[in-house]
Amino acid sequence: MLQDTVIKEISSHLKCQPGDITLDMRLDELGIDSLGAITIMYELEDRLDVEIPNEVFDKLTIVNDIVNQLELLLGNRNSE
């Protein structure tokens, strides 16, 4: 499931347990700054074989924002 993949990637980046992260947690409260968010998104790009446009990064506030953006990108890719 996509949300599990996102949470695992974030927990790997933060070196914590996936169970410590919920979808409604703010990235800044987790200690993820803009560089950290970019790093996580690039890892997810590689893992999911999707290209994430740079303007997406400005829309990321909570963990679920990452999931939603990836769902949109993957859905658009599958409909082409």
Report which DSSP code applies to 51: P
- Residue among 73, 13, 68 nearest 37 (CA): 13
Catalytic residue of the set 33, 46, 49, 58: 33
- Asked if residue 26 lies in contact with residue 61, where contact means CB atoms within 8 angstroms, the answer is yes
Identify whether 33 is a catalytic site residue: yes
Residue type at position 79: S
Hey, is 62 helix, strand or coil? Answer: strand
Return the active site residues: 33
